[in-house]
Amino acid sequence: MTRTLPLRFGYGTNGFAGHPLDDALRVIAGIGYDGVGLTLSRRHLDPFAPAAPARVAHVARLLDRLGLSVVIETGDPHLLDPGRAHQPGLMSEHGREARIDLVVRAVRIAADLGADTVHLCSGHAPASLTADAAFDRLAASCERLLTVAETHGVTLALEPEPEMFVHGIDGFEALRARLGDHPLLRLTLDVGHAHCVEPRPLIDCVRKALPHLAHVQIEDMVRGVHRHLEFGTGEIDFPPVLRALAVGGHRGLVSVEIQDDSPAAPEVARRSLAFLRDAAPLREAA
């Protein structure tokens, strides 16, 4: 028998965009989740607001009372530019400093909340750059961010995102190698994204990711269609994925990533946790 530790399930606050953050956290905890992927946003926790320090302190107390662990996520598409999604990015010709500043703020907020992980993406490469030049610029940006992460003891967990410069695990591994296999640069694996775009079978993606893994996002998806779906409405066979994560020793959150600001968000969250618990391996597996 192979002994496994139970997986810890979380829910992304971007799935509760229609709820005030305090209410969303209380609902998520009440359903039974272990943690949250807390997306910095104007709606929930604005890192640029003058009152941000007091707000962060309040959220820290609430998370502690609710018993929720937290990963800070920086994927709000319009936090920096309301007219352009995910812009500027870590390779942008103009505005790159704004993206770096956002991630620096996220690292500091993570430290204040007792979170050990900040999620980020590479962003898009400007059309004016060659692939090599874009890679150089991304590495330079990450090198600066890792200096800040070292100061605060926070891991940067880069997520390969469809259509972005780093869109697969191979790209992440190349970046990490470029940065000397820095121990604080690790991976966010989005299970749906891997099924959507990776050339290898999903279970092989999970196993390839495990040595680098800090954070997992999870949802259903159809291959070739980048749309986050509720469990059971796409193509993914989840029990083998969850078993591979458990047997592989993943200790971070497995966080549901179904962006939805509808009134049905609490019901989606309840159904999602019930599905994951049913699909997850027992404590001991053959």
Interval 5-33: pLDDT, tens: 799 999 999 999 999 999 999 999 999 99
- Which pLDDT does position 2 carry in this prediction? 53
Predicted TM-score (pTM) above 0.85: yes
CATH code 3.40.50.2000 for 2-285? no
Q: How many CB atoms lie within 10 A of CB 257?
A: 25
Kindly report, residue by residue over 240-257, the tens digit of the pLDDT.
Answer: 999 999 999 999 999 999
pLDDT at 95 over 80: yes
Which sequence spans correspond to the domains of the chain? 2-285
